[in-house]
Amino acid sequence: MAAMRRFLILALLLPLAAAAQAPEPPAGFRIVNRTGVEATALHAVRSPRGAGNDWGNSLLTAGRPLPINGGFRVVPSDPAACRFDLRLVLADGRESVLPEQDICANRTIELATAAAPRPPPPPASLVPQAPPNQAARNVSTGSGFIIAADRVMTNEHVVNGCNRIILRTPEGRWLAATPPARVDAALDLAVLAVPGLPGPILPFRAGPPVRRGEGVVAYGFPLAGLLSSDPKLTRGEVNGLAGIADNRNQIQISAEVQPGNSGGPLLDMQGHIVGVVVSKLNAQRVAQRTGDIAQNVNFAVRSEAALQFLTRAQVTPRSLPSQGAERSAADVGDIAHRSTMFIRCER
């Protein structure tokens, strides 16, 4: 009986010993070149990259290209880092880029498609600045964000009736919008052409569909002239999937917004656009009708409606699926900050 008991104990302990001896997976993640051309440079930069979109130094040793179907293991200095922008520079001058890859969920990433590199933006010194007209008799302000090269999205009511529209970049430069703006008054959306924009493009969410209760971040410039001039971040949730009177082009949010937030981005916790901040409920009018003060009822134009408008305006934005671990509100704010503009309308 004692011998049988010892056998059972060993049988129970053996699987544990085998599990303890199993090798740990290799650190980092692997990049595989499936472009059909050897790569002369490889870049892996934690998302989001800096305001200058700097890729940094190549990870490949000089004179040792990454061959076709070859792999390269990247070990991040921060083991908790999950999202990276990846880039291969090919021997024929093209490049293969995959932004915002979740390397914690996918440890092997293949780069297969390549295209000619985008021309670099003109130096800031060559872009003429457009300082505010201090003699303007009527001035209003709002927010906007970069959705394509030299294109900014905002609300139609932010730019309606303006004689001159200028935008302040995160670096503090003033740039002029080139008329005419493309607008949709029914959706309350507008797209401005602004040559010389320095910041990166904010991607729209390609899926999955937005749900009630999802966390969102609003970013913009509320109450200009009263609050500080820097942008403000508020965090909330998606409360409803329609606006007032069942307006299906809008969603209701609890992220607090004020006058001046109009036209700013509403981002999910991956840093992707899910809406364009448009309005808040008029609490005074509601109180007059109901005797109760409605609190923190705000609205944004749905990203789907915004994308349809951009198609009609012949603007091609970026879209990315929202997958993997959520970012912190501070990280989402860093993403929004590089691409969100203060808009000044002069009449």
Catalytic annotation present for 43: no
Lowest mean pLDDT among 21-25, 44-48, 54-58, 87-91: 21-25
Give me the pLDDT at residue 22, please.
Answer: 55
Say what the pLDDT of residue 25 is.
66
Q: Which of 43, 96, 143, 157 is catalytic?
A: 157
Mean local confidence (pLDDT), 56-70: 94
pLDDT for the residue numbered 70: 96
Compute the residue count for the chain.
347
pLDDT bucket at 281, cuts 50 / 70 / 90: confident
Kindly give the pairing relationship between strand 319-321 and strand 204-207: parallel
All residues at 6 or more sequence positions from 215 whose CB lies less than 8 Å from its CB, including other chains: 235, 236, 237, 268, 269, 326, 329
Is 262 annotated in the active site? yes
Lowest mean pLDDT of 13-17, 181-185, 284-288, name the range: 13-17
Same fold across 29-111 and 128-193: no
The answer for residues whose C-beta is within 8 angstroms of residue 8's C-beta and 6 or more apart is none
Q: What's the confidence (pLDDT) of residue 125?
A: 63
Percent of the chain with pLDDT over 70: 86
pTM of the model: 0.80
Tell me the mean pLDDT in the region 252-261.
97
Identify whether the C-beta of residue 35 lies closer than 8 Å to the C-beta of residue 111: yes
29-111 topology per CATH: Immunoglobulin-like (2.60.40)
Contacts of 278 (CB under 8 A, 6+ apart): 155, 188, 250, 262, 263, 299, 300, 301
pLDDT bin (cut points 50, 70, 90) of residue 17 is very low
The fold of 128-193 is Thrombin, subunit H (2.40.10)
- The active-site residue, picked from 96, 140, 254, 262, is 262
Determine contact, residues 328/340, Cβ cutoff 8 Å. no
* pLDDT value of residue 10: 44
| Amino acid in the structure at residue 83 | R
pLDDT at 50: 59
How is 39-55 classified by DSSP, letter by letter? Answer: EEEEEEEESSP-TT---
- Catalytic residue of the set 47, 85, 184, 188: 188
Give me the mean pLDDT over the 245-269 stretch: 97
DSSP single-letter state for residue 77: S
pLDDT digits (tens, 9 = 90+) for 172-230: 999 999 999 999 999 999 999 999 888 889 999 999 999 999 999 999 999 998 999 99
Q: For residue 265, list its beta bridge partners.
A: 276
Q: What is the pLDDT of residues 134-177, one digit of tens each?
A: 999 999 999 999 999 999 999 999 999 999 999 999 999 999 99
Cα–Cα dist 13/307, whole Å: 59
CATH number, span 204-336: 2.40.10.10
Residue 295 has what pLDDT? 75
- pLDDT confidence band for 1 (50 / 70 / 90): low
What pLDDT, on a 0 to 100 scale, did the predictor assign at position 192? 98
Q: What percent of the chain has pLDDT over 90?
A: 73
> pLDDT value at position 12?
47
State the DSSP code for 115: B
Structural domain boundaries in the chain: 29-111, 128-193, 204-336
Q: What angle do CA 82, 83, 84 make, to 5 degrees?
A: 125
The answer, yes or no, to whether residue 16 has pLDDT greater than 60, is no
